[in-house]
Amino acid sequence: MYEAKNSQRQSNLIPDEIQIDYPEGDEGFWYDVELLPLRTRETNAKDRKSPPSRQAIADYLGMDEASCLVCWGTPADRAHVVPTSLGGSMDVRNFALLCESHHKQAPDIADAEAFWAWVDYAELRDSGSKWRQAPEDLKEWLHSQGVNTEMTPREELEFMTEVKFELEHLYGWTESDFSAASWNLAEEYHRVLDAATGKHFGVDKKAATHAWAYHVASQRLAAR
């Protein structure tokens, strides 16, 4: 087999100056950068392919810093309001800021209003968590103003008990609503669960997601 070789010895001489320029007489070698079309990162915010920064989300939400909307904890995750798997976009309006713990509790649903309702509910439920790092003198002043600065004890609940707790405290279900549960409700609940909910953090479905699906199923049956 023929093997190509360079017959000349390698030169190790280093020139004092190197000049690089376009070849003489080659008019088509160069291009005018001014003629290149602009390629912006996005044409419409809803068509973003990457999430906005945490600070951009904080600015949109009117917050001084990127912290959890529920407990003010940091660091905060960028939480989709509607997951991308359910049609949610990368627009800044489709993001909330939640600490890891509350992000893992938030519902993964195709309903932005219900997501924000859950954030309000969790903020009231865990209101004492905001003051964990506060100085004692501030806590004393808050106590004098009737503000709760202590975490409300929340024992570990069995999964369906947690779903029931959320249906009662977020969606206002009463014992009569639970006793009225039927096979039709179970069927409708599974339709909602399959069509309009997602999974996150490797969890098949969260308690908040199941509670929303039950509530929407109940409303759908009532509307019929």
* Backbone angles phi and psi of 28, in degrees to 5: -90, 10
The 10 Å CB-count burial string (b at 16+, else e) for 169-204 is: ebbebeeebeeeeeeebeebbeebbeebbbebeeee
Query: In this structure, what token pair is assigned to residue 212?
Result: 């929303």
Res. 123 pLDDT band, cuts 50 70 90: confident
Lowest mean pLDDT among 21-35, 131-145, 184-198: 21-35
Dig out the tokens for 131 from the structure: 């003051």
In the chain, where are the structural domains located?
48-127, 155-224
- Residue range 145-159: mean pLDDT, rounded: 65
Task: Give me the percent of the chain exceeding a pLDDT of 90.
Answer: 45
Say yes or no to pLDDT of 45 above 70: no
Lowest mean pLDDT among 35-44, 61-70, 95-104, 173-182: 35-44
pLDDT digits (tens, 9 = 90+) for 73-93: 889 999 999 998 899 999 999
141 vs 216: which has the higher pLDDT: 216
Residue-level pLDDT at 175? 94
pLDDT of 215 > 90? The answer is yes
At residue 110 the predicted structure's pLDDT band, cuts being 50, 70 and 90, is very high
DSSP letter at 52 equals P
* Phi and psi at residue 176, to the nearest 5°: -65, -35
Among 19-28, 49-58, 202-211, the range scoring the smallest mean pLDDT is 19-28
Q: What is the dihedral of CA 197, 100, 84, 213, to 10 degrees?
A: 10
Residue 28: pLDDT over 90: no
Q: Which residue has the higher pLDDT, 126 or 75?
A: 75
- To the nearest whole number, what is the mean pLDDT of the chain? 80
Residue matched to tokens 């009231």: 124
pTM of the model: 0.69
